[in-house]
Amino acid sequence: MNNINITIDGIKTAVPAGYTILQAAKELGIYIPTLCYLKDINEIGACRICVVEVKGAKALAAACMFPVSEGMEILTHSPKVMAARRATLELILSNHPANCQICDRSTNCELQAVTKKLGVREIRFEGESIHADIDEGISIVRDNNKCILCRRCIAVCKNIQTVGVIDAVNRGFNTTIASPFEMPLGETPCVNCGQCIVACPTGALRERSHTDDVWAAIADPDKYVVVQPAPAVRAGLGEEFGYPIGTPVTGKMATALKRLGFDRVFDTDTAADLTIMEEGTELLNRIQNGGTLPLITSCSPGWIKFCEHNYPEMLVNLSSCKSPHEMFGAVIKSYFAEKEGIDPAKIVTVSVMPCTAKKFEAQRPELGKDGHADVDYVITTREFAQMVKDAGIDFRSLEDSDFDNPFGNASGAGVIFGATGGVMEAALRTVADILNGNSGTDIDFEAVRGVDDIKIVEVEAGGMKIRAAVAHGLGNARKLIEKVKSGEEELHFIEIMACPGGCVTGGGQPVQPASVTNWIDLRAERAKAIYSEDKNAPIRKSHENPAITNLYKDYFDEPGSHKAHDLLHTHYVARGKYQ
């Protein structure tokens, strides 16, 4: 790529052709504030906070969109630029609620950060106060009072996820972000993925909190509260306590959960191993007995709801397996309750998830037995971190500890569920061994790793060729399913994760500002934590986990048994356009 010579704030430099002014400034370590800009997602220059002065231009240019050209001279903090930015920011602040102290995003709000960076200490304009009703759904809460109309939520919902249930309506000062016909978000085809939350620069979008319910359960002497954190939680949790992105904090996480007062602390990774046993068996049965193919994984509740709304004809392709944390909830209220002599009615199961869609999933009537939900409460990684802070626990000073028995062990295959391609790789490790009739040593299926939009691989084992595909992000899922429907791709097995990058960048994970996500690939960095745990795990295959083999020996007999189907499998429902 050819380089272009430009001058920024008196500094001569050469940058690749096609760069924007914002990218060029970043190369030189020059700060240009942004609010609406999300790289490759929302590049519309709407907020005007990033304006710069270009010599010879009649108007200030939006740095996030304006391409560099040969000989261009740019000023990023001239008096004219600073005055324009501050005026724009004051106008935004003029009708924004001044309740930062009690906002979920306080100290992690991009509007707050830009205000401090630009040194705005007074507001010259008196804006009209907004009094919007708060839309509180099962998973997601929308508070338009805090919305700054950056449209980042719209872009990620429409362009990345292809769900498109929110958009800008009305014009001028009456513009707002709304669902079709002003319906509550929960009455739309929203899949609860929460990608809008992690895209939002302010507190206009957040998860519905269940921490008060969990605190109450812990404090109730008649309740036996069991908690399970998902694989991806350990890859993001540390960020809430100042650790670098991609730092695994598994041992401290387990200790923190015990310090909060949970009666037992188990690991969803173990249930991921259980899922592989059931799903792998289901895959082989379908291949060998002429069942419906391709089999599509059912671990991602955002994908499941997306399929129910958009591809009801593909529901027969979905694995009947419950997602890992739901399987675990069922096991805890059956096998574990019997083993420990505890009345299932007194057990409260809590899942710590990187995902807001798990909140919707937990209340599905299909996921429970004898009037007991498999999982009672779901809290996100962010909610868990807040509970630790509320309890006054110094997370960084905690010693590492292990998960509790009888589910204290999980395989490396279980932990990689947290990254896109992980479910596929875990399944292939087990399926390959079953078909080959031995324990193979080549277990790193690296072809399904990484953040390519769609990955297609062919694996040969036991004389059988298995064609498999991985897609992450619902826009990519849509592309893959359309290829399957048209006959362009013939596959045996498909893994789909609703969130781009998989669970490591789920809607319940710590929110990083655009100043980080525009330049660092969170998907790849957090996945490193996942794969490092797998690489160092003493057991790396689900079917070799003794906790799982003992569970089948003591309770389920074998994968796919009648008892296993009764507790570990479910069904899904076709949904209308607004259902």
Q: Which residues pair with 176 in a beta bridge?
A: 169
Q: Which residues pair with 464 in a beta bridge?
A: 461
Model confidence pLDDT, tens digit, residues 516-564: 999 999 999 999 999 999 999 999 999 999 999 999 999 999 999 999 9
DSSP symbol at 295: E
Query: Which CATH code of 3.40.50.1780, 3.40.50.720, 2.40.10.220, 2.30.110.10 fits the domain covering 212-568?
Result: 3.40.50.1780
Active site residues: 279, 282, 299, 319, 358, 361, 366, 503
The single residue listed with the structure tokens 């045996």 is 492
Query: Residues of the chain with pLDDT > 90: what percent?
Result: 93
Burial class of 126 by CB neighbour count within 10 A (0 to 12, 13 to 18, 19+): exposed
Residue extent(s) of CATH 3.40.50.1780 domains in the chain: 212-568
Of the pLDDT bands very low, low, confident and very high (cuts 50, 70, 90), residue 390 is: very high
pLDDT of 577 over the 70 cut: no
Coil vs helix vs strand at 218: helix
The single residue listed with the structure tokens 């593909």 is 314
Residue extent(s) of CATH 3.10.20.740 domains in the chain: 3-92
- Provide CATH code, domain 3-92: 3.10.20.740
What's the fold here for domain 130-206? Alpha-Beta Plaits (3.30.70)
Distance in angstroms (rounded) separating the CA atoms of residues 47 and 365? 43
Distance in angstroms (rounded) separating the CA atoms of residues 45 and 60? 12
Averaged pLDDT for residues 381-406: 97
Averaged pLDDT for residues 446-469: 93
Higher pLDDT, 579 or 406: 406
Averaged pLDDT for residues 266-294: 96
Residue extent(s) of CATH 3.30.70.20 domains in the chain: 130-206
Distance in angstroms (rounded) separating the CA atoms of residues 374 and 362? 7
Of the pLDDT bands very low, low, confident and very high (cuts 50, 70, 90), residue 127 is: confident
Distance in angstroms (rounded) separating the CA atoms of residues 370 and 365? 11
C-alpha atoms less than 13 angstroms from C-alpha of 298 in its C-beta half-sphere: 28
Angle between helices 211-219 and 381-390 (to 10 degrees): 50
Coil vs helix vs strand at 422: helix
Model confidence pLDDT, tens digit, residues 415-436: 999 999 999 999 999 999 999 9
Out of 379-388, 453-462, 507-516, pick the least confident.
Answer: 453-462
